[in-house]
Structure 1
Amino acid sequence: MENSPSDSPPLKAANEGVSYSVDSTSTDSLPERAIFDPILLPADSYDVNGTYWADMPLSKRIPFVLNYDLFVEGKQEWAEIWEGAKRNPLSPLIRYFKSAVLPGAGLGLEGYVLFSIGNIKPLFQAVWKECWSTHQVCNARWVSSIEYLEVAGIMVGQILVGIQGDWIGRKWGLVQDALIMFWGLVLLTASWGTSLNGWVICYAWCLFIYGIGVGGEYPMTATSSMENGTGTGVISSKDDRLHRGRSVTSAFLMQGWGQFWNVVILMLVLFIANGTGNPPYSEKAVQIAFRVSFAIPALGTAVLVWHRMFNIKNPNKELEVQKKKSNVTGYDLESLKLTFTHFGGRMLATSGAWFANDVFFYGNKLFQSEFIKVITPNNHSVMEGWKWNLVNVSVSLVGYYLASMLIDNKLYGRKWMQIVGFMFDFILFIIPAFAFDYFTSREGIHAFQAMYFLSSFFNQFGPNSVTFLVAAEVYPASVRASAHGLGAAIGKLGAVAAAILYSYIDTQTKFYVVPWFGLGGALMTWLWLPDTTGLDLAEQERRWRYIREGRGEEYCGVAVHSKHLSVWERWMGISKQYNPAKDYKMKIEEMRTEWEQGKSKEISHDDGSETIWSQHVDDYFTRTSARHNTAPAEQKSEISPVNEKQATY
């Protein structure tokens, strides 16, 4: 039931601490600021004086951010969880399942399968040594091609499905990815050959097919998770501002759980099939472990196909809204061209940092093989390597979760998280390079272990989580999936480069080479990556509309605040456009335009008072429309309560 103005509570300003002394029963008595402050100056981003959080001095910014995040939003979230738990003890788990597990199920299954390839290989080498190790009966190139074809399939999927996601829609990409992964898993489970070499060839091409689905999962999961809470028009969403990073990284971290459960299942199946975890391993036991390990995610992927086909509700909404505003059908080539023109530095940051991160990721695998050799000399049990891999994945999961908790914090956020993660990995990799003999001896093993686990932790609590998020969120919706897919594909080139490079240099040289990619990643992040922490996607889309209309220099909102621009963009002078007082007026005029087009009823607000605010806005625009239409052009954006000299709005 709609509330009438006479039922409305007293209106309040930028947050609930300051109210206007007006008669709320008569909308004619409401000043513009009382109507628009709660809409345009939300309490999570502006203080009681209307000052944007990034404009506050550090002495005020810290308590403002901590107070809202912990005692307002944090308290509200815990209250909701507690209320749900009182009604149903399983409510918190169900809530987590819906918000993180289901959106990230594709990446969880992908992590399970892709890391299964590396985990199973030592088992193949132990049983079919003449094929997988000495290459007496198998072609060495085909054995090596397993990793290359897998990566090639992923890159194809990342680019093609990214384009499809922007062209046809997010849901099409999500369903298609799940179907391709299901098909690939069925093929992997049933892969065979008339000889060992024939089986290797079949296995490699099945991985290529599966990899296409995996590659598409990257841009589709990132964009669909990100766009769930986006506001409309000039109206932003609290969920988007405060929890966008958490939504995306909570889905992404399911990749870590996929790795974890792959190791657990392989250990259990091999132990049951072989009767022991120690060698020798029978061919039958390895065949069972190999095929069961792929059959289990195939069943899970079949469920995922069904869920995405019938249960996902309109993931294309944000894309459709932005295309409609730009009068675009099909693929938005114009936006793609403008993205390279205006956001070229961001492209360098997202793709270059991802490239550097994937080189590091291979470096982490190098650490693993080296320290396992040191702590378990003369060991030939595959189980031993799996156990240490399980410990490493568990440490990584801690990094994943901590990244998800802090990635939206305005005092730390994405950019610092990525720089700090890169720098720690740089340090942790370069130390063993200059004391390699000590750290690979029995005396230095504990320090070596610590560095190895810390490198895993900071890789997740840093570039691995952040690159997945920012490769989509710093671009407009119309080309978001394409940009993410391109960045991810270039990142995979880093994995290929590392694999090729490592085959030509010895172990210690690898330690000399790898760290500099961490330093390079940190520098690229500092120079070219904007910090979008606390900046909602609706505001970024608003700036993009100005750019697309050829008047990008007229935009003066928070998306060009120096806090939300890269160092490079600030050097280009873009931050000089920022003018909050002028932008406040421009936003109201844009709302008026939407109202005139019949969209006023679409306005939604963080406190749930949709009808109340829509009614006040509607009454205001109705009351002032005649005056607005007859006013001189230069005065139409004048709003008397806002003083240009008050540079806080």
Structure 2
Amino acid sequence: MANDQDQPQLEVLTMLDAAKTQFYHFRAVIISGMGFFTDSYDLFCISLVTKLLGRIYYTVPGSPKPGSLPPNVAAAVNGVALCGTLAGQLFFGVLGDKLGRKCVYGITLMLMVGCSLCSGLSFGSSPTSVMATLCFFRFWLGFGIGGDYPLSATIMAEYSNKKTRGAFIAAVFAMQGFGILAGGMVAIIVSTIFRALYPAQPYSVNPTGSTPAEADYVWRIILMFGALPAALTYYWRRKMPETPRYTALVAKDGAKACEDMSKVLNVDIKEQKVVQSKATSFGLFSKEFMRRHGLHLLGTAACWFLLDIAYYSQNLFQKDIFSAVGWLPSAKSMSALDELFKIARAQTLIALCGTVPGYWVTVFLIDRIGRFLIQLIGFFFMTAFMFVLAFGYQHWIQPENNIGFIVIYGLTFFFANFGPNSTTFVVPAEIFPARFRSTCHGISAAFGKAGAIVGAFGFLYASQNQDKAKTDAGFPAGIGMKNSLLVLAVINIIGLLFTFLVPESKGKSLEEMSRENEQQEQVGDLENQVKAIV
């Protein structure tokens, strides 16, 4: 154990916990949140253009149906960014604890900017080579996105006061909803412009003229747009000071932590020997770590894994679900750009009515009712609505009932975001020690992306038979989609049970949650000193 003289002073941390909400909190939300805006735009915009890619590169001349991506290609295009994200969460999570949050924060943003642009410039002499190039750049795009998860959450947690910390971390994550919404709106605008400039007939009327050559520019523009919001915030992200908790507790430079926070809080913070930490220096995955935090890490990782199986299945394959229930017309009755427009319009409506409100209800309530209750509510209602859709599937797919299907389906998104999709991001940034905080958040998030990969590949396989009159087992059409919904409902039940392993962090300091304040020696009346300064 280190000597007392080597331990960081913690006055500045107590000041942060007690500080009133100030401008720098909102600036940090915007700077960190724009990264998540970009993350979600880049991850989910691919689902908008996959059908267009199929029609451009895989339509067979003379075929009665327009082309679509082969299952293995569709799985790769949809899933490769998630694989990169998983790797990036682990890599940058560890790096954030080793080198500091700020040091690697700009790197992730530049990766996202560069790879967004390169994804839209994917080249090749054949459809296979174009898809391979696209997958290559989307992997590294995902790698940069992955780094943004632990770093953004940790930075926001370590800057916030304990009274509103949950709301600020959730607000960063809520920018994901605006990113999803922006993806749909950009696709609507771009497809509308190209439809006006290059009119095309439905595939059933004119197969060769249903996909104008200029459609190849459309998907590229949509993918490349994701570079813009990230590029606009790069300068401000680089100007953010290192978090005082990292500087004091990990780098053990109390003087630098006080200097940085004097500028942020606009008060004079003198370096005083107010609190000395005697916390033990156990290692990650050591016996002491497992005793203190092993079940917590299991809970955060398992909940995120289970949630993302359901969440990404629903998000990446909304277009297939809409087609299955008849909310979207058949592909051959539309031109390629008409199909893109209608897919984007449907997904934008779901985001506007279900996804975005769910995020912001969490922001407003998380510090009032707590993380634990919100996560339980979310898992419970996601389960209930998926069972309703699955058991009444044959009823819901009837043309006169498909609006009801969409409403209930949209509610699953609302309760995913007013629920575990938000809390699984917030809690891992609050409950682990500072020297492991970014790493443990990265591990939890990586398990989430493992679940997303299972969802992306598994759902694609399960829903392959939805257009057939009979499956091999002789069940009615749509059994793949129905069974998928049943499986997702059961997964949500398991997630609800794992929630009981995760502690409530509402109203508690990060040091209290991580138990870094155990065996601390307090000198003087600290509370009165802090109130006088703040």
Q: TM-score range by the shorter chain?
A: 0.7 to 0.9
**What pairs with 1:163-242 in structure 2 (closer than 5 Å)?**
163-229=94-160, 239-240=161-162, 242=163
Counterpart Cα distance in 1 of 2:67 and 2:391: 38
Give the alignment of 1:379-418 within 5 angstroms: 380=334, 381-394=339-352, 395-409=354-368, 412-418=369-375
2:458 corresponds to which of 498, 501, 516: 501
* Matching residue within 396, 400, 413 for 1:439: 396
Tell me the residue number matched to 2:182: 261
Give the match's secondary structure for 2:504: coil
Distance 2:432 2:215 in 1: 46
Matches within 5 A, 1:525-544: 525-526=499-500, 528-541=501-514, 543-544=515-516
2:79 touches 2:457 (CA, 8 Å); kept in 1? no
Deviation at 1:465, TM superposition (A): 0.4
In the TM superposition, residue 295 of structure 1 has moved relative to its aligned partner by 3.2
Match of 2:449 among 492, 508, 516: 492
CA contact (8 A) 1:336 1:479 kept: no
Q: One-letter code of the match for 1:466?
A: T
CA distance in 2, matches of 1:259, 1:175: 23
- Give the AA of the match of 2:345: K
Instruction: Name the SS of the counterpart of 1:103 in structure 2.
Output: helix
2:263 aligned residue: none
- Quote the residue 1:305 is aligned against: 234
C-alpha separation in 1, matches of 2:26 and 2:195: 35
Judged with a 3 Å threshold, the aligned counterparts in structure 2 of structure 1 residues 121 and 142 are, in CA distance, closer, same or farther, namely closer
Matched, 1:318 2:245: yes
Provide the secondary structure at the position in 2 that maps to 1:343: helix
TM-score normalised according to structure 1 size: 0.65
Superposed CA deviations along residues 576-595 of structure 1, whole A, max 9, x for unmatched, are xxxxxxxxxxx7xx222xx7
Q: Relative to 1, partners in 2 of residues 1:202 and 1:333: Cα closer, same or farther, differing over 3 Å?
A: farther
TM-score, normalising length from structure 2?
0.78
Cα displacement (A) at 1:183:
2.0
Give structure 1 stretches of 5+ with no counterpart: 1-38, 46-72, 81-93, 230-238, 547-554, 556-586, 612-649
The residue that corresponds to 1:158 in the other structure is: 89
- Give me the whole-angstrom Cα distance separating, in 1, the residues matched to 2:428 and 2:199: 44
Q: Equivalents in 1 of 2:89, 2:434: separation in Å? A: 17
State the partner residue of 1:246.
Answer: 167
Q: CA deviation at 1:97?
A: 6.1
1:362 is displaced (CA, Å) by 3.4
Alpha-carbon separation, structure 1, partners of 2:87 and 2:215: 31
Hey, what's the Cα distance between the residues in 1 that align with 2:456 and 2:440?
25
CA apart distance, 1:417: 0.2
Query: Which residue of structure 2 aligns with residue 478 of structure 1?
Result: 435
- Higher relative contact order by CA 8 Å / sep ≥ 6: 1 or 2? 2
Name the SS for the 1:253 alignment partner: helix
Structure 1 residue aligned with 2:7? none
| Matches for 1:68-147 after TM superposition, within 5 Å | 98-130=27-59, 141-147=72-78
Higher mean Cα deviation, 144-153 or 274-283?
274-283
How far does the alpha carbon of each residue in 1:359-387 deviate from its partner, in whole angstroms, 9 at most, with x for none?
A: 11134345663345423444542212211
Give the direction of change, closer, same or farther, for the CA distance of 1:347–1:285 in structure 2 (3 Å limit): same
CA contact 2:85–2:446 (8 Å) conserved in 1:
yes
8 Å Cα contact 1:277/1:383 also seen in 2: no
Percent identity of equivalent pairs = 24
What's the RMSD between the two structures over aligned residues?
Answer: 3.3
**1: CA distance, partners of 2:198 / 2:430:** 45
Query: How far apart in 2 are the matches of 1:376 and 1:500?
Result: 23
Aligned equivalents of 1:491, 1:421: Cα separation in 2:
16
Q: Counterparts of 1:28-107 in structure 2 under 5 Å?
A: 98-107=27-36
Say which SS state the counterpart of residue 533 (structure 1) adopts.
coil
How far apart are 1:502 and its partner, in Å? 2.6
Q: What is the CA distance between 1:440 and its match in structure 2?
A: 1.2
- The answer to whether the Cα contact below 8 Å between 2:153 and 2:425 also exists between their aligned partners in 1 is yes
The 3 A distance-change label for structure 1 pair 200 and 377 is closer
Which residue, out of 310, 319, 326, partners 1:374? 326
Question: Does structure 1 retain, via aligned residues, the 8 Å contact 2:358–2:414?
Answer: yes
Question: Shift of residue 545 of structure 1?
Answer: 5.2
Which residue identity lines up with residue 512 of structure 1 in the other structure? L
- C-alpha distance in 2 between matches for 1:290 and 1:502: 24
Where do 5+ consecutive residues of structure 2 fail to align? 1-11, 202-209, 253-275, 463-479
- What is the number of residues matched between the two proteins? 458
| Structure 1 contact 119–386 (Cα < 8 Å) conserved | yes
